[in-house]
Structure 1
Amino acid sequence: MGRITTRRPLTKITVGRDPQRRVDTLAVEEPLEIRINGNALAVTMRTPGHDVELAAGFLVSEGAICRTEQFRAAIHCGGPGSGGGGNEYNILDIALTPDAVVPATAARNFYTSSSCGLCGKASIDAVKTVSNFDVAADTVTLDAEFLATFPDRLRERQSAFDKTGGLHAAALFDATSGELLVLREDIGRHNAVDKVVGWALLSNRLPLRASVLQVSGRASFELVQKAVMAGIPILAAVSAPSSLAAELAEASGTTLVGFLRGETMNVYSRPDRILAESSLSAIPG
């Protein structure tokens, strides 16, 4: 496994004071090339660690697989001429079952940055992947007071963020018991979610019915899409959703919660799943 953090020298400047030389801890960002049966499919910038989960979750989001048995094996390997050297942990070759829907390499080979899982897509229509799971039919509900505890519980477990201040986190909660099932950190918010979804696939937990995906930042279209593809009925973010994220959530029957901070939250779609003490009819305006 590659490094998650690294130490780098810096110059600390404070107005009116002499500059100071210090050492800071930074989140590592390195490329991961995902291959299917030796053929390059995608390159994503990520924080090393849980690469197999990342690749598995990516393939779920792309609609290539939806069952654990479709993901047969994964192995890190060196690139051509590397001799198995320095980049051996930045290339992951995956074997899938014949029924996996693998995009044609020539048509779907693309590069994704750590900040945008959609970079390189030809158009927005290309990412409206059809899910194998119906999140709209999920009847799960949970108390708003209960949901309001999730961001702090996620933050308490962000060990790498404490060192760097530069990593996103995604956590999966059981909506019924409140159990934190898994948490992953990464320099890219979409990578953190892919690692969570990949963990669920490899643990034979898809679809993720009656669950809540809690993320540390904003809610973009791509994060809603990943939740839908994994069968997650509720996505909660501590920051704002995009307009397209709200539109996709409404269309798919996903409950989208934004600005989840303290005791307040904004619910942009399917508010029937979030139980508050007062009914909506009692709220003026």
Structure 2
Amino acid sequence: MSATAPAAQPAKARTVAARSSIPRASVAVPAVATKKPASRKRVKGSVINIAVMTLAAGLIATMAIPAYAFNPQTAESAQFKSSAIESMKKAQPQSVQVSQTVAQAAVTRDAASATTEAQLANQKAEAERAKVAVQFAAYSQAYSGPSVSQFLAHPPYPNFSLAQVFNVAKQYIGVPYVFGGATPAGFDCSGYVMFVYAQFGISLPHSVSGEAARGKTISIQDAVPGDLIVMPGHIGFYAGNGNIMDAPDTGRSISIRPIWTSDYYVVRLGI
């Protein structure tokens, strides 16, 4: 048994020796594998360099285009050199003279006129006056009764009474307003008062302020129908209970209505 054990050891040793005797050249594969990434980096770097050079060349070419496009030597051979280059070379300063007559004619032709606000206002006022004149002419032809002057010469109511004044004034309710009117064909506010009081022999001017100045101012508590209510630019008869009987304005007629303002005072005539 001891003689066979030593014989097995040399065989194992030979196996190890045989393995160790394999040439080292067969182990060189890993070295080749490690060199491939380096070559890829070189290729990638070369591609980047080429791209950068191409881009730079493009930029330089782009910057050179304007210079090339306007190069006089190149333009000499262009199809339109006669109209482009030669015209610029031969162009000389020029002057144009315009006669004074032509300049004046142009100014006169270009002159414009406009209607001012004052002119428009005058035109509107003139149109209103023409309208009133037509109305007044029709109004004058519509009444043929006694005039104010005839009433003053022969008053139909010689005995003055405020109650009678109011009763006479009520007869004209419904008469239309006419600017400047002083007859039953049409009244304005002061013409109405003037016409009524003329029938009692009392002469009044055809104006609000003139009529108000002929009487005596009294309080509203003392007022009775027949007294006068005076406002800025307007006048009428007091109708009792805070009302006025008057010729209002264009488009309306004599009527009784409430006093609409506190800016008024009362005047009494005949005392």
Structure 2 length-normalised TM? 0.29
The structure in which a higher percent of residues are strand is 1
The structure in which a higher percent of residues are helix is 2
Q: Computing the radius of gyration over CA atoms, which structure comes out larger, 1 or 2? A: 2
Highest relative contact order (Cα 8 Å, sep 6+), 1 or 2? 1
Structure 1 length-normalised TM? 0.28
